Amino acid sequence: MRFFLLYLLFSGVIAARCQEVNVRVTASFSGKPLLLESFYQLPGGDSIAFDGVRFYISDIALYLGDKRVYTEKDSYHLVDVSDEVTTHFRVSATQHFDKIVFHLGIDSATSTSGALGGDLDPGKGMFWTWQSGYINCKIEGRSNRCPTRHHDFSLHLGGYSGADLAIQEIALPVSPGDIVINLPLDKFLAAIDLRRQHTVMSPGPGAVALSKTLAALFEVSR
């Protein structure tokens, strides 16, 4: 009996301390979930539609204050906002936490490690073939604001070395329970100028600037 009570006590403690946390990553436009191939109004009357929004989230960690309480192993997630399977994952928190920290993109060491599998498979269309390196983020679509053929825009953001390093750290305060991380793309379009910033397909200052702008917009929603 005494053992049973002890067991109950322990399992209760463990259950309280080790909890599965669902993480979901979403993209939104004007407060509503983003739909691909759907036209949205931009301030000023222009319209925009997205064909694809894909990005890497890596190196997920949970913090309590300044203390790291959880580090995900082999933490690489290719998120495709149109494919629900890729937007959900689980982390197991062993302690309370009040902050999630992750990276937008792939780090230099991984970018120079040769052929990798899983979400890092270079066949997933997120690896430059003419110049090695992961594309951290692809945002593609069309808008009459773009002075390009078919009004297309293609933002392929990447770069892993020196001043071209495009990976961004993102830290967001969270409350206990499941975490929903949202990327409000209407704010991204308000922060950039599609008339000029419509085609980025190689590492460089353009990709780094857009990556910083994008990373600053991630938010936690409940």
Token pair of 184 as six digits: 């409000």
Q: Does 52 bind other proteins (CB under 8 A)?
A: no
Which x/- pattern, by CB under 8 A, does the window 99-118 give for other proteins?
------------xxxxxxx-
Closer to other proteins by Cβ: residue 4 or 130: 130
Minimum CB distance to other proteins, residue 132 (Å): 4
DSSP conformation letters of 23-85 = EEEEEEETTEE--TT--EEPTTS-EEEEEEEEEEEEEEEEEETTEEEEE-TT-EEEEETT-HH
Q: Tell me if 199 contacts other proteins by CB under 8 A.
A: no
Instruction: Please state the closest distance from residue 205 (CB atom) to other proteins, in A.
Output: 9
Residue 220: alpha-carbon gap to chain centroid: 12
**Is residue 95 part of the contact set for other proteins (CB under 8 A)?**
no
In the complex, minimum distance from the CB of residue 130 to other proteins, in angstroms, rounded to a whole number: 6
The CB-of-183 to other proteins minimum distance in angstroms stands at: 26
CB of 50 closer than 8 Å to CB of 206: no
Q: Sign of the C-alpha dihedral, residues 98, 172, 85, 26?
A: positive
List residues binding other proteins (CB under 8 A): 111-117, 121-125, 127, 129-133, 204
